[in-house]
Structure 1
């Protein structure tokens, strides 16, 4: 018997709803809008005086202080294409003494047409960027609009980690350590290469690469206590992953994956292979993860230690309970407010979340 189109749609919708409902909505939370009227707040960071620097993907750097927004001048030219633009922003761990701010953005400078992910640092004076210098530029450029990666994080030893997505070239870039893209990188805070990076003695390798076999990591954070670098990355249709990054390891993309092509066809028949790391968690269907932070605060009671991941697709904050480096429970917070782009714990211990077409909100536990 043939099913009519409306029935097929109803069945698909029901399956999708069931997939979402396996993560219950936690109603013990509310929010307060701190910075209103933002479009795509790709990232933000708190300055020591409590003000906030906000990267709008469109290329605006906003300084929010005492309720007022001021556009910061002096940024380089930003390459705007697809998922590329002005992306992450973080402070140096010793910012109070050295004043360094770190950015990721898409730039068309360098080899080839199009653009690619760039890492830079600068200082801020009177709402103007000064002392700007590029630390790393992924090459070659590409006219493709997807998979710039671009998250930044410092570890406890002062090394800077950053992600560059595969730039839509999955069959070439991620598995080749002589090429940029589809990688996690580690550099010193001045852009130089640490002498113990895993591929430093490989004559052909990109020396800044720390791990490879990644698709599009848009979440990266330091786990309190362990000092481990955690990331998440977009899968294709299904197969979004959480990984703990280890030096020199291959995370498998696109040879192994729990996802399929957007058309539903397979691009690989295997999910595991010797020499390739398994994710500590994966999502099917994809939640389209962006932003990532652990709760390391007494403001949230028994939520302390949980991992927060934003969902662009389903528009909620996914709270993951972690035990022995495994996700044992997921709950939806801030359900339906909008596409969750970025997450930070503020200096006051509260969690702040950047939501597209809304702004930056503070998470409050009732």
Structure 2
């Protein structure tokens, strides 16, 4: 199911783009430009123009960055060019909680902060926080971890261990399945979110505590099987649990993926995901992009990969804990 040796597609190569960075977590390119917004775990929203890093952050948030907490996911509103809205998921230091905050970007500064989602519990252990934000079909998807309390993942009245779905202003869409923000449940630590451009198909990576990291195709109201009593390699718990599309029994810590549709035809039409062991995998999808036919490691030894996304030139960009790199044509 997995190719034994890492191999980039023919006529492509990996090259450095920007080094010397301070733990970038997530990237958001402004479409049609060379401007990149990215989050630093310590609390800064940074701007990269071409390969030049703005000396002044767009914003600095007061975050708790213990363990896996901090400033995590970032997303631009689909109408960013007109409304200038930027969204981030972060762990607020005091009072301790996870929030989604919206900024309006003007002249390189993140202004008019507005809390869109608040009060997501952040327990004292600092782990399994989720932390991604992603737009698909005009809705805002937010991933939350269960904070090492498996019982919460099966509770559809609780926002932990879930994929949440909101309107861009933070209100609850009328077609959500449980009458609240919950879109899917039974998750451990869904650290990554992606969608197929132009569709509402949403994908997630999920970290396990000691086994069974996952890649899932997210569906409305579906139970993804994590909860009290789960055992490694089993079908899952709760009503009608959905088995993962891909399961990695030896944990790899998969991070934020992307569905690639760009200039490099050799890469087109599949999902790419990095992991904290320094690998980048290609998940080769079926014809309707709802199943993974096979997977292939295309890069190794890149350092902890935190995010993969399409950027300027249609190339594939990856963030590590110290740098940004890209896969380009030879």
Report if TM-score (shorter chain) is over 0.5.
yes
- Which of residues 147, 167, 177 is equivalent to 2:128? 147
**Aligned equivalents of 2:275, 2:143: Cα separation in 1:** 19
SS at match of 1:348: helix
- Say how many residue pairs are matched: 324
Deviations 1:120-152 (A, max 9, x none): 110122332211011112433311110111111
- Please say which structure displays the higher CA radius of gyration: 1
Summarize deviations over 1:276-314 as a string: whole Å, max 9, x none: 1121111121211001001112x322321111011112x
Equivalent residue in structure 1 for 2:161, among 167, 178, 182: 182
SS in 1 for 2:125: coil
Does the aligned pair in 2 maintain the 1:320–1:327 contact within 8 Å?
yes
**Secondary structure in 2 matching 1:302:** helix
Q: Are residue 343 (structure 1) and residue 308 (structure 2) matched?
A: yes
Pairs within 5 Å for 1:46-195: 46-48=29-31, 49-70=33-54, 71-110=56-95, 115-156=96-137, 158-170=138-150, 172-195=151-174
Q: Deviations over 1:173-204 (max 9, x none)?
A: 2111222210110000011111121111xxxx
Provide the C-alpha distance between the structure 2 equivalents of 1:83 and 1:72, rounded to a whole number of angstroms.
22
Deviation at 1:327, TM superposition (A): 2.2
The CA deviation at 1:347 is: 4.3
Structure with more of its chain in strand, by fraction: 2
**Which residue of the partner structure matches residue 332 of structure 1?**
297
Asked whether the 8 Å contact 2:177–2:221 carries over to 1, the reply is yes
The answer (yes or no) to whether the contact 1:294–1:308 under 8 Å persists in 2 is yes
Measured after TM superposition, the shift of residue 337 of structure 1 is 1.6
| Closer, same or farther: CA 244–138 of 1 in aligned 2, 3 Å | farther
Of 270, 273, 292, the residue aligned with 2:257 is 292
TM-score by structure 2 length?
0.91
Instruction: Measure the CA separation in 2 of the matches of 1:177 and 1:124.
Output: 35
Does the residue aligned with 1:97 lie in a helix, a strand or coil? helix
Conserved 8 A contact 1:75-1:129: no
After superposition, residues 204-283 of structure 1 pair within 5 angstroms as 207-224=180-197, 226-255=199-228, 259=232, 270-271=235-236, 274-283=239-248
Find the residue that maps to 1:173 and give its secondary structure: helix
User: Structure 1 stretches of 5 or more lacking a match?
Assistant: 1-18, 201-206, 261-268
> Is the alpha carbon distance of 1:258 and 1:328 closer, same or farther for their aligned partners in structure 2, counting shifts above 3 Å?
farther
Cα pair distance change 1:47/1:274, threshold 3 Å: closer
Shift of 1:165: 0.6
1:303 counterpart residue number: 267
Give the corresponding residue for 1:5.
Answer: none
Structure 1 counterpart of 2:319: 354
**1:39-60 C-alpha deviation (Å, 9 max, x unpaired):** 3210111125421112111112
